């Protein structure tokens, strides 16, 4: 990494051969008034991603530092950002980009760092995002764009977003803050949630009302697709760990946002009740409003899983093919 970089882009990847060049190129195209670099982390890919990463690191030695793992670290400790990447960053700011996503605007970093540099109390800068399929085909321009104007983010909105308030790959934050995340930020392997909450609640978050990045939905092998297809016990543990983390954040903030944290915790409890197929409970307060917001298709599936589990399992298996 360059010693004079003002921002380092951490770029973790694993088996992203069809997408990783697109991601790296979207960083290299950035036009800024200050130096930046890339910390590229290949987690022992087996599909050719590692070769692509080595080629880029060779072509751009002053811009790209490659960590090429020989043993998959995710199987050892799933907190790749927290325990491997954040500690290695020396730049003032850290930006995040996953290997299957990409940035849309060549001025993304300039706009976000420009704001952070002139507003030292800001501890998180985010933007809107296009939701796209893996091939770049647009799904939605509004689903990941929470506000229609540049503004300070309401902390309650951030908390209730449960990690999904913004696309993770829009995030730029002070490196020192990321490196100072306390133990409870590691309660769950879901790394976007603690980053958003820790940074956004230790100062303030600024939202740029422009879709500066593309979030690729349902990419094969992504965390969301793996989680969706995981066994019930694995999914249950994920929701339990997120609930524990939200409780810890509520305590850390001394109850200033207790109502918002309670709402976010209810969402995790709702998902656990769904996994337990307890339809009676999810139709009662405080979960009834969450249930009512679900699509008709989702409600039908919940009833199928409760009363016709074999049929539901066969349906989901066909859907994943």
Split at pLDDT 50, 70, 90, the class of 310 is low
Could you give the 3-state DSSP secondary structure of residue 9? strand
**Per-residue pLDDT reduced to its tens digit, 43-58:** 999 999 999 999 999 9
Output the pLDDT for position 318. Answer: 58
Of residues 58 and 312, the one with the higher pLDDT is: 58
Mean pLDDT over all residues of the chain?
92
Split at pLDDT 50, 70, 90, the class of 321 is very low
Q: How far apart are CA 15 and CA 46, in angstroms?
A: 6
**DSSP for residue 82:** I
**Average pLDDT over every residue of 239-244:** 96
Of residues 218 and 196, the one with the higher pLDDT is: 196
Split at pLDDT 50, 70, 90, the class of 314 is low
**Per-residue pLDDT reduced to its tens digit, 160-171:** 998 899 999 999
Distance of CA 214 to the CA centre of its chain: 12
**Average pLDDT over every residue of 267-277:** 94
Output the pLDDT for position 160. Answer: 97
**DSSP for residue 81:** I
pLDDT at 316 over 60: no
Buried b (16+ CB within 10 A) or exposed e, 6-22: bbbbbbbbbbbbbbbbb
Q: What residue has token string 């009833």?
A: 303
**99: number of Cβ within 10 Å:** 29
Output the pLDDT for position 221. Answer: 65
**DSSP for residue 76:** T
Task: Write out the H or E segment, with its range, that includes residue 102.
Answer: strand 102-103
| Of 98, 104, 109, 100, residue with least CA distance to 41 | 98
| Of 67, 90, 73, residue with least CA distance to 11 | 67
Q: Is the domain covering 7-216 a CATH 1.10.8.50 domain?
A: no
Phi/psi region, residue 9 (left: phi>0; alpha: psi -120 to 50; beta: rest), is: beta
Q: Are 161 and 196 in contact (CB under 8 A)?
A: yes
Of residues 300 and 267, the one with the higher pLDDT is: 267
Output the pLDDT for position 143. Answer: 94
The domain ranges of the chain are 7-216, 230-320
Could you give the 3-state DSSP secondary structure of residue 290? helix
How many helices and strands, by DSSP H and E, does the chain display? 14, 10
**Average pLDDT over every residue of 283-306:** 88
**Average pLDDT over every residue of 60-86:** 92
Cis upstream peptide for 179 (omega within 30°)? no
Output the pLDDT for position 220. Answer: 76
Q: What is the DSSP string of 184-247?
A: GGGSSS--HHHHHHHHHTSSEEEEEEEEEEEEEPS-TT-HHHHHHHS-HHHHHHHHHHHHHHHH
Task: Write out the H or E segment, with its range, that includes residue 313.
Answer: helix 309-320
């Amino acid at each position: 990494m360059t010693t004079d970089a003002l921002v380092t882009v951490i770029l973790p990847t694993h088996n992203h051969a069809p997408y990783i060049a697109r991601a790296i190129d979207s960083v290299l195209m950035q036009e800024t008034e200050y130096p930046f670099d890339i910390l590229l982390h290949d987690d022992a890919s087996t599909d050719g991603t590692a070769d692509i990463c080595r080629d880029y690191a060779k072509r751009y030695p002053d811009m790209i530092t490659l960590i090429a793992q020989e043993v998959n670290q995710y199987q050892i400790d799933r907190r790749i950002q927290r325990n491997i990447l954040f500690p290695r960053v020396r730049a003032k700011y850290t930006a995040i980009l996953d290997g299957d996503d990409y940035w849309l605007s060549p001025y993304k970093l300039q706009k976000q760092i420009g704001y952070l540099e002139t507003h030292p109390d800001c501890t998180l800068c985010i933007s809107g995002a296009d939701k796209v399929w893996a091939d770049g085909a647009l799904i939605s321009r509004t689903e990941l764009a929470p506000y229609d104007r540049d503004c300070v983010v309401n902390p309650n909105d951030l908390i209730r977003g449960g990690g999904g308030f913004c696309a993770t790959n829009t995030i730029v934050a002070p490196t020192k803050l990321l490196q100072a995340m306390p133990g409870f930020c590691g309660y769950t392997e879901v790394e976007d949630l603690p980053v958003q909450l820790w940074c956004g609640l230790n100062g303030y978050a600024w939202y740029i009302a422009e879709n500066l990045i593309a979030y690729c939905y349902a990419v094969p092998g992504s965390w969301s697709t793996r989680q969706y297809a995981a066994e019930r016990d694995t999914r249950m543990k994920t929701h339990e760990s997120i609930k524990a983390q939200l409780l810890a954040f509520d305590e850390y903030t001394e109850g200033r946002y207790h109502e918002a944290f309670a709402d976010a915790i209810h969402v995790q409890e709702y998902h656990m009740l769904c996994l337990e197929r307890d339809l009676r409970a999810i139709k009662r307060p405080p979960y009834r409003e969450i249930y009512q917001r679900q699509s008709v298709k989702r409600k039908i599936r919940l009833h199928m899983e409760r009363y016709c589990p074999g049929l539901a399992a066969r349906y989901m298996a066909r859907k994943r093919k």
